[in-house]
Structure 1
Amino acid sequence: MSAATHNPYLNGNFAPVADEVSVEDLPVTGVLPPELNGRYLRIGPNPTAPEETGQGHHWFVGRGMVHGVRLRDGRAEWYRNRFVHGDVPEDSPNTNILAQGGRLLALVEGGGAPVSIAPDLNRMATWDADGALRTGFTAHPKIDPVTGEMHAVNYLIRPDAEHLRYVVLDATGKATHTAELPVRGVPMVHDMALTATRVVLLDLPVTLSPDAVGRLEAGVPQAGDALPMRWNEEHPSRVGVLPRGGTARQVTWCDAPRCYVFHVLNAYDAPGGSIVMDVVRYDTVFRDVFGGPADQLPALARWTIDPDRGTVSEQIMSDRSVEWPRINAEWLGRPHRYGWFGGTGPASLRLTDDVNRDLGGSFEPGPLVKFDTTTGEASAHDFGAGRVTQEPTFVARPGATAEDDGWILSVVHDGNTGRGELAVLDAADVTAAPVARVHLPRRVPFGFHGNWIADNEIGA
């Protein structure tokens, strides 16, 4: 029996789609807000080549595919999906897509350069910011809503890598600052945090595995080796704090809870010099299962970082398991109240036999969740039996002043029909019926990240 037969990340709605399509004039249930003029874009891995789907397959690895829905004047003009390709075949980012400096950029971490994508999704090219990103970028830069600067912490999946690279791009996409920040053991640094004055680095105990690298080089990969990162009991768990635009000599390291964090909701400066940072944390990942992050379910936690004492205190904020955290981007780096998430649940750890246990079970999505960090209240939108969502995106209503005055856009997978839809919810009341549902011509495989790109962000 083939690896693909057993691997949960190559089956169901994790499975890739085979072709690219373009469909115009999509049917809509409800009324699309006419203020939504732009594109909802989502990206994820779409492995189709034999070398991408063999024994060593990992959910995080495979050629990128972007899915786009064009909205204008209350209509859903088109859906398109395209494989991501840069100037060389290996340039195929699969993790995030956003706008910076008037460009649409597909992103990946670990050494891959961004790929610039035309607004119609039909033209693509590698983009390295005039050489500043030639050695790779990150999937999770942070864009300051006041200055438009993009801050990023990058790492290389390479045995000889001995530092992280901190890069700042201005609002036009020009690199204005770089700094090498020494670390040991090649830690997996998927995300970072940005406050109004500081940057927070994550150096946590998932690192490059020499054993997995050796098996890959020998052509005998085991489950999950395509991403050769593993839980490392010997690696410390710490966060680093440095001033925005800072250098290695300005980093203050603080002992952190022993866990792993893929995603940060937000962080902000607090009185007395501390930093409040809300994160989605896992007790372990890639320790017990290797095909995806399914050692156990994640939890939302608040970390209070005290650089003067070198400590991080932790408070678990909810008993509801969530991932893919998002805020109103205008609140990035400033005190926030609300977060929107994709919910996960016990079904995500469906380990049916020893083979699936090695591969990682499955990490299946669930309802959409809104969390109030002030009251601790969580509310959810359940899309119905067999219907689940992943990462939400907040879009502010024009002229809005309230933090949650806007819409949530999110792709829903309908397991009953095998198709997807773009749901539009009221961000202030996610329990209400959807404002609108855009019916897509096909399913959108479970992937990673997406964003709403307004027309004025890319001039189209």
Structure 2
Amino acid sequence: MSGNFGPVTDEVSVDDLPVTGTLPPELNGRYLRIGPNPTSPDETGPGHHWFVCRGMVHSVRLREGRAEWYRNRFVRGDAPEDVPNTNVLAQGGRLLALVGGGGAPVCVAPDLDRMSTWDADGALRTGFTAHPKIDPVTGEMHSVNYLIKPGAESLRYLVLDAAGKPTHAAELPVPGVPMVHDMAMTATRVVVLDLPVTLSVDAASRLAAGVPESGDALPMRWNEEHPSRVGVLPRGGTAEQLSWFDAPRCYVFHVLNAYDAPDGSIVMDVVRYDTVFRDVFRGPADGLPALARWTVPADRGAVSEQIISDYGLEWPRINEAWSGRAHRYGWFGGTGPHSLRLSDDVDRDLGGSFEPGPLVKVDTTTGEVLTHHFGTGRVTQEPAFVARPGAEAEDDGWILSVVYDGNTDRSELVVLDAADVTAPPVARVHLPRRVPFGFHGNWIADDEIGA
């Protein structure tokens, strides 16, 4: 609730943003970010958790080398509870704000001024996920969805076609109500993460009784009794086709990518934490994450793990054209005590291990780590890769991310060369306000939403 983790209180629209450098004229579309923006006493009270608050979406419109406008709006669905805060992406010609754990998506107009709940003809009546996987060739969207509810003993695997029409659904029995924030998908298979963070009956009971303690707004806790495993099933498969493999004892919020290896195994790169929500309950700050490569065997055995880099990083992104196929590069936001200490209050509240920092590029083949430090008091979070038109190389394009400047308490949209992130920025769009630290965002080209 302090520093740039704190909310902004109003909605603004500002045209003709100043730019330092030269915006690539090929960037015609919108860069959007979303995150929690707590303003009510219920959201900011004793049980406050960074993940559980009404969402606010921020958008910067770029066209033909100009930054036409910045706008921010609270997310407003058709019901008071429809306020997703975790991801914003395009699929089926729609711009969707997403959240996991049982919340429905909200369809957002390109100008942000009209919003409505979207349930895909009833298929999303019990909620969706913040991290569906979209096939870069077919546009088909796959999701593994969990529900934060006592007694919810299964996950729902759902497939939507390129137009957003449901084509497949399967219930996957999984006990204990684990927090399934992300999934993995290869060209042929889907990977389910069943890891030891589960619904806490005590925290849920306190929340229901109106006497929450720290972090109870998200009543998920590290569970020493819950197994750590991954499940593999064919794309479009059912519970009968699901095979389970023991996995390293840890938690994974985000998967960089996964692909089928020639020997039938699955290779997946993940950002892994030794524990979360065991020691610190208001955010994922038990310790620093690391980038790991997991190999899921073709038929039997346990998942093997190789640490690619122990540099503290999160919010993994790839060139999405490589989704489901063998990749080499990943781009991340750095995090941890090596990054900027925003203030003593924030450092104490988050356990000193979840402070945003530099932009990070990792070569997963060699383990090389390159960073772009934006200057004293300036930090970033999740990057977005945008391919250069006609590009063939995996890293031929630009990286877009929001940079917070603690010296001015303002933010910028910064464009970097994805192939050489150590070079000076290509362009910096100066925003009229700060954009609070949030979760995810994407570059949405005009042709993705017809605007």
Structure 1 length normalisation: TM-score? 0.96
What's the counterpart of residue 290 of structure 2? 299
What's the counterpart of residue 289 of structure 1? 280
1:144 aligns with 2:135: yes
1:395 aligns with 2:391: no
Deviates further, 83-92 or 301-310: 301-310
Deviation at 1:353, TM superposition (A): 9.8
Q: Within 5 A, what are the aligned runs for 1:337-416?
A: 337-346=328-337, 360=351, 363-416=354-407
Code of the residue aligned with 2:238 in structure 1: it is T
1:255 aligns with 2:246: yes
1:94 aligns with 2:52: no
Distance across 1 between alignment mates of 2:375 and 2:67:
23
Q: Within 5 A, what are the aligned runs for 1:28-43?
A: 28-43=19-34
Deviation at 1:319, TM superposition (A): 2.7
Q: Is the 8 A contact 1:290 1:358 kept in 2?
A: no
User: Could you say what secondary structure the match of 1:296 adopts?
Assistant: coil
What's the counterpart of residue 187 of structure 2? 196
- Match of residue 58, structure 1, among 44, 49, 52: 49
What's the counterpart of residue 149 of structure 2? 158
Q: Is the 8 A contact 1:351 1:357 kept in 2?
A: no
User: Could you say what secondary structure the match of 1:273 adopts?
Assistant: coil
What's the counterpart of residue 26 of structure 1? 17
Deviation at 1:366, TM superposition (A): 0.2
Q: Is the 8 A contact 2:340 2:357 kept in 1?
A: no
Deviation at 1:94, TM superposition (A): 0.1
User: Could you say what secondary structure the match of 1:453 adopts?
Assistant: strand
- Match of residue 268, structure 2, among 272, 277, 298: 277
Distance across 1 between alignment mates of 2:408 and 2:346:
29
- Match of residue 426, structure 2, among 431, 435, 439: 435
Code of the residue aligned with 2:409 in structure 1: it is G
Aligned residues: 451
Distance across 1 between alignment mates of 2:342 and 2:110:
41
- Match of residue 308, structure 2, among 317, 322, 341: 317
Deviates further, 228-237 or 308-317: 308-317
Distance across 2 between alignment mates of 1:328 and 1:377:
18
Deviation at 1:64, TM superposition (A): 0.3
What's the counterpart of residue 2 of structure 2? 11
User: Could you say what secondary structure the match of 1:152 adopts?
Assistant: strand
Code of the residue aligned with 1:128 in structure 2: it is D
Code of the residue aligned with 2:441 in structure 1: it is G
Deviation at 1:349, TM superposition (A): 11
Q: Is the 8 A contact 1:266 1:277 kept in 2?
A: yes
Structure 2 length normalisation: TM-score? 0.98
Compared CA separation, residues 355 and 393, structure 1 to 2 (3 A): closer
- Match of residue 186, structure 1, among 177, 180, 184: 177
Deviation at 1:364, TM superposition (A): 1.2
Code of the residue aligned with 1:97 in structure 2: it is V
Code of the residue aligned with 2:42 in structure 1: it is E
Q: Is the 8 A contact 1:290 1:359 kept in 2?
A: no
Distance across 1 between alignment mates of 2:137 and 2:208:
46
1:174 aligns with 2:132: no
Deviation at 1:345, TM superposition (A): 2.2
Deviates further, 344-353 or 30-39: 344-353
What's the counterpart of residue 417 of structure 2? 426
Q: Within 5 A, what are the aligned runs for 1:173-252?
A: 173-252=164-243
- Match of residue 100, structure 2, among 109, 116, 136: 109
Deviation at 1:271, TM superposition (A): 1.7
What percentage of residue pairs aligned between the two structures are identical?
84
What's the counterpart of residue 131 of structure 1? 122
Deviation at 1:37, TM superposition (A): 0.2
Deviation at 1:219, TM superposition (A): 1.4
Distance across 1 between alignment mates of 2:32 and 2:341:
29
What's the counterpart of residue 110 of structure 2? 119
1:459 aligns with 2:450: yes
Name stretches of at least 5 consecutive residues in structure 2 with no aligned partner: none
Distance across 2 between alignment mates of 1:49 and 1:346:
31
Deviating beyond 3 angstroms after TM superposition, the runs of 4 or more aligned structure 1 residues are 347-362
Compared CA separation, residues 389 and 353, structure 1 to 2 (3 A): closer
Deviation at 1:307, TM superposition (A): 4.0
Q: Is the 8 A contact 1:193 1:267 kept in 2?
A: yes
1:44 aligns with 2:35: yes
What's the counterpart of residue 4 of structure 1? none
Compared CA separation, residues 359 and 33, structure 1 to 2 (3 A): closer
Deviation at 1:272, TM superposition (A): 1.6
Compared CA separation, residues 358 and 384, structure 1 to 2 (3 A): closer
Distance across 2 between alignment mates of 1:295 and 1:196:
34
- Match of residue 258, structure 2, among 251, 267, 275: 267
Compared CA separation, residues 209 and 349, structure 1 to 2 (3 A): farther
User: Could you say what secondary structure the match of 1:407 adopts?
Assistant: strand
Compared CA separation, residues 53 and 81, structure 1 to 2 (3 A): same
Q: Is the 8 A contact 1:379 1:431 kept in 2?
A: yes
What's the counterpart of residue 3 of structure 1? none
Deviation at 1:19, TM superposition (A): 0.2
1:326 aligns with 2:317: yes
Name stretches of at least 5 consecutive residues in structure 1 with no aligned partner: 1-9
Q: Is the 8 A contact 1:294 1:349 kept in 2?
A: no
Q: Deviations over 1:416-439 (max 9, x none)?
A: 000000000000000000000000
Distance across 2 between alignment mates of 1:307 and 1:224:
39
- Match of residue 79, structure 1, among 66, 70, 79: 70
